[in-house]
Structure 1
Amino acid sequence: MSSFEIKHQSQGLGELSVLFSPIQLGPLTIRNKFFMAPLTRDRNVPTSIPTDLMVEYYRQRAKGGAGLIISEATLITQQGSPWPHAPGIWSDEHLRAWKKITDAVHEEGAYIYSQLWHLGRISHIDAPEQVASGESVYAPSAVGARPDGLSKFRFLPGNPGPSTPVEIKDPRIFIEQFRLAAINAKKAGFDGVEVQTGGGFLIHEFLDKTANKRTDEWGGSVENRARFGLEVLKAVTKVFGPGRVGIKLTPTGGYNDIGMPLEDTLETFTYFITEADKLNLAYMMFPRYEEAIVEVYDGKLRGTPHDVIQTYKPLVVNSKFFTNQNYTVQEAAQHISTGKVDGVFLGTAWIANPDLPKRIQFGIPLNMSIDMGRLYGPRDGSVLSEEELAKGYTDYPFAELPLAN
């Protein structure tokens, strides 16, 4: 279907039509505002290398009309593994496999970014890839994350929580790892990268004073705690150039035992966002506070509730301001059309609707039935057949579209 036909069909959608208009993201003109958020699906069986089944999964969503896809979180090093079969981007084998995916997405007219991920302290010393790396679990400080919440390693005996980490001696080594991962992503054909700056993972751990107890140039003051993340952004931006690096920020915390009191949160993220906005980023993405996903520690919610749009959007001048977290398509369109945000990343809706934009365009009901038992691949280390792995992954149907007049 031509762009003219898509535009014509969308004219009768009212407020939803804003989702079908292009958006400029750095040097890229994205064909619409149907953005696909990173979705962990764990189909890299039997290794950490993307498979042909994953090629089909990403191709489907690009063919279905996605404008921009962010890959599932991708490990920048072998050290640090949250579960078996989490994808990586540290070897030539990874690059060749990801290249098949980026080629498939591009053939269908969409763009794709790689989300670069280092877990920091949210790792376990006995996880398979961790053992294979021969490395310790590293973090800004030797402060372990409490295992009371969701961050447990259910594929290990006893379902342990994260290991107590070893303090990073030289953070510059890890900045270099992000830079090399960006180089690999570029070689693999990605159009840009999204740096995972939140979620209680490595960069977030440096930012958060409950996890970062350092007294050197990488800890203490807001400026020092922000230094690591800003240096990572500078390094990957040099690789991809201006307008091709995005970041995901989670100031409301509440996941992986991280989060500061509101006053500290506002001071820290106001500084970090203001400085990051000077780096010619493509976008900053802020999941809004959602109590349902906030973990409970010692009987109390760990998060820091506040309105991320109202609080941080005025600080984002040179980048696009995106958000996500349990948005409906209608709510996303309303937020964009009223100027509250520049765009919304949808996640859950893409799982059972590989053709999400086309269903919206033609008024076809969304498939709301998600096979939750097959949302993730095997996390116990078992190896399933491709047929089994495809269930609840690539077997969701495309809708039958009406014939063109």
Structure 2
Amino acid sequence: MTLATSCDSKSQPEGLKNLSVLFTPIQLGPLTLRNRFFMAPLTRDRSIPTNVPSNLMVEYYRQRAKGGAALIIAESSLVSRQGTIWPHAPGIWSDEHVHAWKKVTDAVHEEGAYIYLQLLHVGRIAHIDAPEQIASGEPVYAPSPIRAHAGNLSKFRFLPGEPGPSTPVEIKDPRKIIEQFRNAATNAKKAGFDGVEIHAGGGFLVHEFLDNTVNKRTDEWGGSVENRARFGLEILRALTEVFGPGRVGVKLAPTGGYIDIGMPLEDTIETFTYFITEADKLNLAYMMLLRYSETMNPIIDGKLRGTKHDVIQTYRPLVRNSKFFVNQSYTPQEAAEHIATGKVDGVFLGTAWIANPDLPYRVKYGIPLSGFDFGRLYGARDASVLSEEELAKGYTDYPFAEQVQEKALLN
């Protein structure tokens, strides 16, 4: 299948003409993206048997690049060996990871797309008994020794009893972790990635430093807004030194909530206004903000944990030197409307890519999107005992639209 990168309105059904803006190119730093179909990072737990990207992952990313994605952000990759809630998450701290990821980036580039890698340290959202944490020989780290409340979004389903996160140990010198991010970015560049994105949301480590309900430090890394923002900003500076201007992005979640995090509204706006303003001075490629979603916010002690506010209205005016992107359960129709009206520069779509490797083609011609099998969204609890054929189900076996149409004709 050859996917056109422009959209002829005459070839579209009447109701889809307003989607044509999704097929317009956009400049992202030094890269010219062929359209505005961006694929958000999606954890899929297929790094078998431990944390090294598999050949199955090569096929998965190739399919979506072939299907028309302009920019793919590869799934959260750990900057060091950690005991995460995902038993088969990929890493990017060793030469073995570099060689494995290089197969992915080569495949994506061969299909005409670009690919960034999302870098992650989970912080306190880890468990001391997880195999990878044990192998690391390190404790669970966080800005302060405050344990996250256990919930459906933070249970270790591959451990007996499905426990929640462990009580963390305070990081003595955050500069050590900053250097882990720098090393991860260096490895990502060796692996052929076009850029990197830091995950500064999700209740993970960078987010934990920003949030005054989690970060109770009294040194230069805690207390004031400037001190709490220091960790994330220093990481962004380090990554920009590795990749150069226009090749580093950041994912932010000001509305909080996810995995027991979030400040009062006044503190939230003050903190993220400062962070975004300072980050915008660093020649980043983009900032991607998650909008508020009740489905992603747990109820803890009878209260909804998130901080509801409009991230576009609140933070868009602060971003002048980077592209402003958004994410969180957008439809293609919403994405097109937001771009056409100038609210945002682009929208990352996530779950729509799972069962629709040719998402742009389907949108262009009004072909209904397929739903995905939630039961096979992630790798199995003990995926190391499954065959590649089993792991491919609900991962690389979703057909392209033309295959669906051909099958219908045969029947």
Using the TM superposition, name which of 297-306 and 111-120 deviates more: 297-306
Other structure's SS at 1:72 match: strand
Q: Residue 299 of structure 1: CA displacement?
A: 2.0
Q: Residue 10 of structure 1: CA displacement?
A: 4.9
RMSD: 1.6
Alignment match, 1:7: 6
Aligned match of 1:257 in 260, 263, 275?
260
Alignment match, 1:75: 78
Contact map agreement 1:57 1:394 (CA 8 A) in 2: yes
Contact map agreement 1:69 1:110 (CA 8 A) in 2: yes
Alignment match, 1:137: 140
Alignment match, 1:347: 350
Q: Residue 382 of structure 1: CA displacement?
A: 4.7
State how far apart, in whole Å, the 2-side matches of 1:372 and 1:149 are.
15
Q: Residue 256 of structure 1: CA displacement?
A: 1.2
Aligned match of 1:248 in 246, 251, 254?
251
Any idea what the Cα deviations from partners look like across 1:22-62, whole Å, max 9, x if unmatched?
00000000010000000111111212101111000000000
Alignment match, 2:19: 16
Other structure's SS at 2:92 match: coil
Aligned match of 1:59 in 58, 62, 70?
62
Alignment match, 1:398: 400
Alignment match, 1:39: 42
Q: Residue 82 of structure 1: CA displacement?
A: 2.4
Counterpart amino acid of residue 8 in structure 2: Q
Using the TM superposition, name which of 264-273 and 71-80 deviates more: 71-80
State how far apart, in whole Å, the 2-side matches of 1:148 and 1:51 are.
30
TM-score, length basis structure 2: 0.95
2:380 counterpart of 1:378: yes
Counterpart amino acid of residue 7 in structure 1: S
Counterpart amino acid of residue 387 in structure 2: S
Any idea what the Cα deviations from partners look like across 1:106-137, whole Å, max 9, x if unmatched?
00000000000000000000111100010110
State how far apart, in whole Å, the 2-side matches of 1:332 and 1:103 are.
29
Alignment match, 2:120: 117
Aligned match of 2:389 in 368, 380, 387?
387
Any idea what the Cα deviations from partners look like across 1:226-245, whole Å, max 9, x if unmatched?
00000000000000000000
Counterpart amino acid of residue 138 in structure 1: Y
Other structure's SS at 1:160 match: coil
Using a 3 Å threshold, how does the CA distance of structure 1 residues 237 and 299 change in structure 2: closer, same or farther?
A: same
Q: Residue 81 of structure 1: CA displacement?
A: 2.5
Counterpart amino acid of residue 21 in structure 1: T
State how far apart, in whole Å, the 2-side matches of 1:148 and 1:320 are.
34
Q: Residue 381 of structure 1: CA displacement?
A: 5.5
Contact map agreement 1:80 1:120 (CA 8 A) in 2: no
Using the TM superposition, name which of 142-151 and 175-184 deviates more: 142-151
Q: Residue 383 of structure 1: CA displacement?
A: 2.0
State how far apart, in whole Å, the 2-side matches of 1:96 and 1:291 are.
40
User: Any residues of structure 2 matched to 1:279-358 within 5 Å, and which?
Assistant: 279-358=282-361
2:362 counterpart of 1:359: yes
State how far apart, in whole Å, the 2-side matches of 1:7 and 1:61 are.
17
Counterpart amino acid of residue 205 in structure 2: L
State how far apart, in whole Å, the 2-side matches of 1:8 and 1:114 are.
28
Other structure's SS at 1:7 match: coil
Contact map agreement 1:155 1:381 (CA 8 A) in 2: no
Counterpart amino acid of residue 392 in structure 2: A
Aligned match of 2:97 in 70, 94, 97?
94
Any idea what the Cα deviations from partners look like across 1:286-317, whole Å, max 9, x if unmatched?
11100011111112110000000000000111
> Gaps (5+ residues) in structure 1?
none
State how far apart, in whole Å, the 2-side matches of 1:89 and 1:324 are.
24
State how far apart, in whole Å, the 1-side matches of 2:49 and 2:22 are.
38
Contact map agreement 2:156 2:162 (CA 8 A) in 1: yes
Contact map agreement 2:5 2:34 (CA 8 A) in 1: no
Using a 3 Å threshold, how does the CA distance of structure 1 residues 125 and 335 change in structure 2: closer, same or farther?
A: same
Counterpart amino acid of residue 110 in structure 1: A
Any idea what the Cα deviations from partners look like across 1:46-95, whole Å, max 9, x if unmatched?
12101111000000000000000000110010134223111101111111
Alignment match, 2:203: 200
Using the TM superposition, name which of 149-158 and 203-212 deviates more: 149-158
TM-score, length basis structure 1: 0.96
Alignment match, 2:409: none
Q: Equivalent pairs: percent with the same residue?
A: 77
Contact map agreement 1:359 1:365 (CA 8 A) in 2: yes
Contact map agreement 1:137 1:166 (CA 8 A) in 2: yes
Any idea what the Cα deviations from partners look like across 1:195-239, whole Å, max 9, x if unmatched?
001111000100001110000000000000000000000000000
State how far apart, in whole Å, the 1-side matches of 2:278 and 2:208 are.
18
